[in-house]
Structure 1
């Protein structure tokens, strides 16, 4: 089967996963307040669940405000895999931006557009149904980021090329996601292999690579790594809800059914196991495009 056909089929699965699950995700706990579809990070100074959901957003704000180039106003920002727009809304409340969010999910686009109107941000944040490996005309974007969406792409090299193509010199790319620990793929442990396989299948993971591999792909695309923060110590694992999901997954593993919501449970349980056993780590990476060759 041609690679493009395989990629299209894989991305259709990602689209269905988010079309079915996004309304549930944004109703969950304080993620509904933060409009977040990413994980809580209990970093330094975090006191509430809402702050934990917004911790990565705060890191994005800090990273895009600290570049060496003069900052345009409004700043052209691009969110690759925008969910329902939570990070764009966070940025728009704190700095002048002209934001674009892209997502495979038409359900996500509709929810994001509705939230933008509700918050008076429709003129500053717009949303497109698109594949970030084949971006439509979004112009040049001073800041581009992908929060827990990079791993859904089937081709990491194309991801970095696509992102780099819309970043001017002095601009930045941020990727916050799960990355393989060096040597994890070579594990002979049967349980480790099953956890990685469940993570890939449940969460529709196409680009599970190491940070060194990500750095190499980025360098080939003309981007250099300038910051690498390991946020894994700030994740809260084995919460009561996680243990409950683990019970359901282990009991239902042999049953002959699948659904997007069940996939999210299988993947969520697997990522817990992968993080707890050191197979993957959760990193915040910042790349820039040099001002001069």
Structure 2
């Protein structure tokens, strides 16, 4: 039996000497190395998504589910077109571009990867919304922005990369205006005890996505309270996420022969191979009730 403690790094590559810096380097390495893999196997030129989709009764395609997720978060945080948004962990710009195109929001979008910021800027220009979005390289746990700058802080499958989730929540509270809202969509542990037979899948996910740990839903809710947030709501959308997890698994299974041959020929880096393994491992975590998936929203009064 294994046990995942809060604020610890459980990646096998971690030396624990300077875990925060290690994590930043690992996350940058992951997203830089896997940029084209994501575009080939997961996201498209319109959604630019590095996240799970949201499947409701009207969803007809994978790409549609990815765009649905943006709308779901937009509504969860009650975002208005006039709101100034910080996209905290913006990836290659998918959500920011969607908000600018569909709702005319102005945004600051940050990532710790200079390459991601560059790619995102190019995508925003291609979509005609470059003037609405400032892409910058910054750590969402320690931003350079003044107190009470933003109406919205948006974290879509990015907060999981923080070693201590409270660091992100504390910074979000600081830079939000009074009346501002935080929205976080991510995976959460359903239990801290992990059986021996489940541990390899857990480690494959943490290693492959450069994530140090996950926390429980109730623990994340308490962190929001501790940092001063009010009107905290949680929407469990695991059921609407499972088709996306299944889709990822099927893609990984289909590409497995190519992965094996490419790895044998030395055409796939260790980072790319680790990312591939997540496609299989995340399916195990979902279907064995080790993780759930949901949306938190909260307000700074």
Query: So what's the TM-score if we normalise by structure 2?
Result: 0.84
Q: Which runs of 5+ in 2 are unaligned?
A: 1-13
Q: What's 2:28 paired with?
A: 15
User: Is contact 1:134–1:162 with CA below 8 Å preserved after alignment?
Assistant: yes
1:147-168 Cα offsets, whole Å, 9 max, x none, are: 1111111111101101111112
The yes-or-no answer on 1:223 pairing with 2:223 is: no
User: What's the CA shift for 1:252?
Assistant: 11
1:223 and 1:262 mapped to 2: Cα distance? 39
How many residues align? The count is 282
SS at match of 1:38: coil
Q: What's 1:5 paired with?
A: 18
1:110-142 Cα offsets, whole Å, 9 max, x none, are: 111111122221211110111111112266111
Question: Aligned match of 1:76 in 69, 84, 90?
Answer: 84
User: What's the CA shift for 1:212?
Assistant: 0.6
1:196-224 Cα offsets, whole Å, 9 max, x none, are: 12211121112400111111111111113
The yes-or-no answer on 1:178 pairing with 2:187 is: yes
Q: What's 1:277 paired with?
A: 288
2:278 and 2:86 mapped to 1: Cα distance? 27
Q: What's 1:167 paired with?
A: 176
1:238 and 1:250 mapped to 2: Cα distance? 21
1:245 and 1:116 mapped to 2: Cα distance? 30
RMSD: 2.9
1:65 and 1:274 mapped to 2: Cα distance? 31
Question: Aligned match of 1:58 in 56, 71, 76?
Answer: 71
1:23 and 1:258 mapped to 2: Cα distance? 13
User: What's the CA shift for 1:30?
Assistant: 5.1
Mapping of 1:110-259 within 5 angstroms? 110-137=118-145, 140-181=149-190, 183=191, 185-187=192-194, 189-224=195-230, 226-234=232-240, 235-236=242-243, 237-239=245-247, 240-244=250-254, 259=270
1:158 and 1:248 mapped to 2: Cα distance? 40
User: What's the CA shift for 1:91?
Assistant: 1.1
Higher relative contact order (CA 8 A, sep 6+): 2
Mapping of 1:36-55 within 5 angstroms? 36-55=49-68
**More deviation, 218-227/102-111:** 218-227
Q: Which runs of 5+ in 1 are unaligned?
A: none
1:196 and 1:126 mapped to 2: Cα distance? 35
SS at match of 2:50: coil
1:205 and 1:124 mapped to 2: Cα distance? 30
**More deviation, 117-126/278-287:** 117-126
